[in-house]
Structure 1
Amino acid sequence: MELKRVVVTGLGALTPIGNNISEYWDGLKNGRSGCAPITYFDAEKFKTRFACEIKNFDPLQHFDRKEARKLDRFAQYALVSSDEAIKDAGIDLDTVDKFRVGVIWGAGIGGIETFQNEVKNFAEGDGTPRFNPFFIPKMIADIAPGNISIKHGFMGPNYTTVSACASSANAMIDALNYIRLNHCDIIVTGGSEAAVTQAGVGGFNAMHALSTRNESPETASRPFDATRDGFVLGEGAGALILEEYEHAKARGAKIYAEVIGGGMSSDAYHMTAPHPDGIGVERVMHNCLRDAGIDASEVDAINTHGTSTPLGDVAELKAISKVFGAHANDININSTKSMTGHLLGAAGAIEAIASILSMQHNLVPPTINHTTVDENIDPSLNLTLNKAQEREVNIAMSNTFGFGGHNACVLFRKLIE
C-alpha cells in the first residue's frame, strides 16, 4: 500500500510569548522571555514563585460566561488555538467531508486546576459531597478534542494522547499515520496544558524539578548553561492542521511544510530521569530518520527537548552527537523552552510550530539566557546561543520527551512538489 503524503496547512498558537502565530514568531525570533512572577495565586510560600503564564488572555473574549465556566483553562486554550489553525487553513466547514476530519490532541495532565479547586472546596466544607456537575467533564484530558469536534462537527477519529511531556508530539505522529493510511483527509492536532496552579507548582517543586531562580525569573530557563537548575513551568496550546497532500492541493490550500516522519521510543530506565547516555533519545531520532527515509546529513535544524535540567540537556546532546556524527556540528540546535518555559503536554506542538516557522523564514530562534559554558557539553555544537541565526532550513527535527521515558520525534521538510 502506498502511503499518502501529509502536509501542514494551518497553525494556531497561544503561548507565554504570544497569543497567536504572528505574536509567537515575533517573540521567538527576538529572544523574548515569557517568564515572570506568578499571578494566578499567592506563591510566596512556594520554592518557585514564577512561571511562564499566558498574558492578556480573557476567556470572555472567546466564550460567553456560561460556556467559559464549563471549560478548564487547558480546554479553553485548545479551542482558541485550534480555531486559529482552522481559520488559517481556510477549511470550508460547509463542504468538507466531516467524517474524514479528526481531532487528535495531546495533554499530559488536563484539568488539574479544576481537580485542585473541587477537592479544596470539599475539604474546606462540612463533609457534604457538593461537587460541581461539570467537575469531571472539565477535568478529563480528552474533553479538549471532544469540544473541538463538537464545535465544528468533525466526526472522524477523536481522542487524546497522554505521554507526559511527549503527549502532543505523539498526537502529531498518530495524526500523520491516520492520514498516511488514508483513514482521514484532515486532522486537527496539537496539545494544550494549564498546570500553573498550586498543585502543579507544588508537585513539581516536591520532586525538585523546577528552577528556583526567584531573584531573576526572566533568566531562569537556561538550557545548556552550566548554572541551569531545573525547568520553568509554562502553559498554553499549539494547533496544527495536518492534511493529505492531494486533498490540500485540490482545494488550493497554502502549505507550510510536509510532515515526513515520526519516531517513538522508550528509555525504560527511570520514572523521571533520562538515561544518562541518552540511549532512548538516540533510538527515537534513528527511528524518525528511518521513517522519513532520509539520511542524518540532510537535517538542518533540531529544536531540542532542552528543558534546562542538569541531566536532560546533557543526555540529549550526547545522543545528537552519536546520531549525527560530524554533521552534528553543522546543525543549528536550539531550545525554545528558554523563552516559553516547558508547556508539558503542549510542548511538542508549540515546538513543532517553531520548527515549521524556522523553515518558513530561514531563521533559527535562539537559546536565550546562556552565560556559562557547561564542560559536559561538546563545545563544537552550535546551540544557537542568545541570538537568532539566519540559515537555509529545509529539514527540521523536533524532539519531545516525557516522564516515564516516553520519547517522540517529528521531522518536517519544505514541500517538494
Structure 2
Amino acid sequence: MNVLVVNAGSSSLKYQLLNTDTREVFAKGNCERIGIDGSFIGHEENGVKDKLEVELPDHRTAIKHVFDILKTVDAPIEGIGHRVVQGGWYFPESAVVTDETLGWVREVAPLAPLHNYAEADVIEICREMFPELGNVIVPDTAFHYNMPEKAWRYAIPRDVVDKYHVRKYGAHGTSHRFIWRTVHEMMGDKTHKLVSCHLGSGASLCAIEDGKCMDTTMGLTPLDGLIMGTRCGTVDPATVFYLNRVAGMSIDDIDTMMNKQSGLLAVSAKSSDSRDIEEGANSGDANCQMAMDMFYYRTSQLFAEMAASMEGVDTMAFTAGIGENSVTMRAGVAERLKWMGVEIDPELNKIRSDEPRVISTPDSAITVLVVPTNEELMIALDVEELLGK
C-alpha cells in the first residue's frame, strides 16, 4: 500500500510517501518556516534533493504544494497517515479520521497547542482535497495510554485529575513502539523487558515489557523527564511558583524558558546540539563537559527507574539523533550503567550503520542495541491495517 505520512509542526510540515510492502520511499521532504519569511520546501526523490523557495503563509498552502509536487511521483497515494503529538484521553490506539475523531484532536489541543491545531488543520485539508482517500490519526501518546495506573496517575486530587484529564501521557510512543517491534524481531524470546532510549533534541525513555508500555519519562507534556536540547526535563514544580513570585517572571516567560532556553543549551552556554557540545568538551570547555556529564547522569538515573517499573531489564536500545549517531554519548551512558552489568564493545559502538545492531559484549548482563527509528513506517503500517479493515 502506498501511504503518504504527514507530520505537521507549528511552523513546519514533513512528508514521506512510501510503500508498506517493499518499504520503498518514493519521495520525502519538509515544508519549512510556514507563516514566516523565507519559507521553502526541501524535497528529495530518487536520491535527488531540491529546494523550492515558495511562500507558505499557512499549513493549507503547504499541503497543497506537497500534493502538487507528488503528482509527478509514479506512486498513487492510497491512504494518508497523520502523526498527532497529543491524543489526550481519547486515543488508546490509532484511529481512522471521522468528524468525531478529528474533533477529539482539536479538543485535546491545549495539551500540545503548537502542534495539535496545525495537525487538525492539515487533516481537514486532506479530507477536503481528497475525499476518496482514507486518513488515519497516529498519536504519539497512544502507546503509553494503557500503562499501569500507578505509573500514569499523579498524586493530586482526583476531582482535578478527572475534570482536567491531568495524567502522564508521554510522547515518542510511535518511535518506542517501532523500537520494540524491531528488537523483538531480532532478539525473539531473549527480550522481554526492554528500555527504549529515544535520545535526540527531544528525549525520552520507555519501559516496555512484552510489548506493553509500563512507564515512560515524559509526563503531562514533553517537558518532563530527561535533559533535552532546550528543555529542562524534571525540576521541582515549585520552581515555577518561586520564579513567578520572587523573580517576577510570568507563567508564559517561565514556559518559554523551560521549553526553549534550558536543557543542554543552558548548561553548556554554547548550543542545544550535542555535536557542538561534544566538540566543546573535547576542546576543554568545562560547561560543555558538565552538560554531557549531566546528560549521562540523568539518563542513567531514569534508566534505572524504567527498569524498576518492570522489576528487571534484559535489553536496552539507543535510537533517535543522539542515540543513533553519538558514539561518545552512548559510551557515557553505558559507563554509568556498569553497576547494572552493562558492557558495550568499544569497536562495535564505533560502527555507523542504518541497520539495527548489537553493540554489547557477550558478557553484558543487558543486551545493548542501536536501532534506527522509523516512525514514518510505523505510521504507514497503522494506515494499512486500519484502512484494510
Report the TM-score range of the alignment, normalised by the length of the smaller protein: 0.3 to 0.5
TM-score normalised per structure 1: 0.31
- Structure of higher CA gyration radius: 2
Q: Please identify which structure carries the higher helix content.
A: 2
Tell me: higher relative CO, structure 1 or 2? Use CA pairs within 8 A at least 6 residues apart: 1
